[in-house]
Amino acid sequence: MRVLRRSLAVACSIVLIPGASVVAQFIDAKLDYRVTNVGKIRQVLTNMGTFDKGRTRYPGLINAEFPPGSDEEHLFQGGIWIGAISPTGDTLVSQSEAHFTPHEFFPTNKSWDSIWTGSKGDTLHLPYWQNYECISDRDYVSRYSDYNILNIDNHTPLYLDIVQTTYSWSSGQLAEFLLHKYYIVATKIPLKDAYIGFWMHSSIGNIGVADNFIDEYTRWKADYKMAIAEDSPGGNDGAAFSPIGFSVMAPTDAPSWSFNYYEHEELPSRDPECYQAMASGRIMPDRIERARAHIIQAFGPFQINVGDTIVVEMAEIFGEGLPGLMKNAEYIKLLKSKNFRVPSPPPSPKLRITTANHEVTLDWTPQPGSVNPELYSDPNRGDTVKYPFEGYRLYKSTKGPDGPWSLLAEYDVIDGEGYNTGLQYTYKDVGLLNNIEYYYGLTAFSRKDNVLNFPPQETSASGNARTVVPGTAPPATVGEVAAVPNPYRGDIAYSSYSPPWERPQGNRPWWMEQDRRIQFINLPASCQIKIYTLAGDLVATLNHMDAAKGYEDWNLTSSIGQAISSGLYLFTVEDTNNGNVQVGKFVIIK
């Protein structure tokens, strides 16, 4: 157990802003979120310390997706808890997230108090941490406190500042876990018998199949200080690919550890109850009965004086089944032994795209003045290879920018470790459907480090994914405008096409009525489309102004938000540059 006595500002150049100057109303807090995307985990992070949306505006439906594009959820809620005895003898607990208590950690209202991101080798100049050096393929840094909002019901703050960093990696086993690092600083009062814990309310299953996940096993792995939630076989939520584990990597020498799980109606809500659970020292037996996974694991006690810093590391781990998760839990110890400074992939290559009729051309020729992946060096390798770049891989998806990906091409250096194809820098993909979204990702990968026995490292296809729509340029004026498909048939699952003709909007994984799609094609650059019933009633008006594309989508919804019914519809298209008008018709069959 290690407490850093007033050392964080020196060791990490963190400048802590006094609490008196940052008290803000809730509506003024600079709430922010990010979703990790360089590896295989799509985890929501907030500057409230939560692993769910908290009070941010995150619009997605999944908090912790693994693998990407699977629609497999793992967390309903999650976050850090800290409890202690105040100088007046009060038992207090501050929680970033819990089931029956309000959020208690918030950022300030400063414009910079968001979530900062950077990649390995970058230096971030944060107001509270000058010259922060990024460690992983994508670092996330935020700062929050339990006293920025002082009008929270039943909340007495411990006056804690927390700086949270999250490390994520892009390839191999490294892509299957995140490392969350917390710098916890007492700013105003000394804290006696402090305990630190992590709340996990897991929710494992495919959200496209079910939305109520209550059939999970709950486990504790003492050697890894890890709480695990695992989906049980069967049930109406599908077959889950991965469990989820929270493994405390540091400190590991705390004298007391607790692992408690609860039924929904038994969850502690008052500070004394929460503290008692954290300080109980109770390790409950693994629960191999299907139930909701409400877990709090904690460790302590710590005596924290004003200005002291406690550094906590927690790995959030996934994998193929429980064996895959445990393999990754062991593997992350290798990173820990190297202070998370291990060989990394080359810089992400830049992809340039040109569209044409039924085809796209992709070009990644290194440009003068830009980063060249082929010339990168890596001081964390154990071998003496000066330029460990090995090659490029080009991927394609029809589902979305997070995959799933299909490999289109691989080009590697001559006399290297791969196929020795030689490098190429262009690829033409032909036979595509016009006016349909395709997704391309280009990666660079390194050669194996034979000294460290470290596998080749590859950048993330999703990290630089591009959305591409092939098609023709807009015509000079109207005359060839058409509505497709015609007829539109409601009994056809257009969303099941590959690529999908209709796709859910945003992060929603399932199709809904508002995702219907008719497309007006061969549009001039500037025009107005009006849609009428056969009786002449105006249904909707679409304004098209785009010199680069000659189409416009319509979701079969009227101007007042009503879904239209079956029937024959008329449309007019007016070229707003010259006044030319074309008339057409289409059929809706539902």
Does some domain include residue 448?
A: yes
SS3 287: strand
Residues in the chain: 590
Is residue 362 located within the same domain as residue 328? no
On whether the CB atoms of residues 248 and 272 are closer than 8 A, the answer is no
Predicted pLDDT of residue 28: 65
Judge if the upstream peptide bond of residue 366 is cis by omega within 30 degrees of 0.
Answer: no
Predicted pLDDT of residue 5: 41
Predicted pLDDT of residue 145: 97
Q: Which of 443, 468, 493 is the last residue of a domain?
A: 468
pLDDT < 50 positions in the chain: 1-2, 5-27
Predicted pLDDT of residue 504: 87
Instruction: State how many domains the chain has.
Output: 3
Residue 397 to residues 265, 407, 530, 537, Cα–Cα distance (Å): 44, 9, 34, 41
Is residue 460 located within the same domain as residue 560? no
Torsion of Cα atoms, 16 then 311 then 320 then 395, to 10°: 40
Task: For residue range 389-441, list pLDDT tens digits in order.
Answer: 999 999 999 988 988 899 999 999 998 888 899 999 999 999 999 999 999 99
Judge if the upstream peptide bond of residue 251 is cis by omega within 30 degrees of 0.
Answer: yes
Predicted pLDDT of residue 18: 36
Predicted pLDDT of residue 123: 95
SS3 344: coil
Predicted pLDDT of residue 239: 78
Does some domain include residue 257?
A: yes
The CATH number given to whatever domain includes residue 559 is 2.60.40.4070
> Which residues, at least 6 apart from 23, have a Cβ–Cβ distance to it below 8 Å?
147, 148, 149, 150
Q: In 119-141, which positions are buried (b, 16+ CB within 10 angstroms) versus exposed (e)?
A: bbeeeeebebbeebebbbbbbbb
Is residue 258 located within the same domain as residue 356? no
On whether the CB atoms of residues 476 and 361 are closer than 8 A, the answer is no
Does some domain include residue 374?
A: yes
Q: Which of 311, 337, 363 is the last residue of a domain?
A: 337
The CATH number given to whatever domain includes residue 145 is 2.70.98.10
Give percent helix, percent strand, percent coil of the chain, each to the nearest 5: 10, 40, 50
| Rounded Cα gap, residues 169 and 350, in angstroms | 19
- The parent domain of residue 200 ranges over 8-337
Q: Which of 299, 314, 337 is the last residue of a domain?
A: 337
Kindly state the tokens that stand for 181: 């690092």
On whether the CB atoms of residues 227 and 297 are closer than 8 A, the answer is yes
End-to-end CA distance of the chain: 66
Kindly state the tokens that stand for 565: 């019914």
Is residue 101 located within the same domain as residue 39? yes
**Tokens 């490029």 sit on residue:** 392
Is residue 567 located within the same domain as residue 507? yes
DSSP 557: B
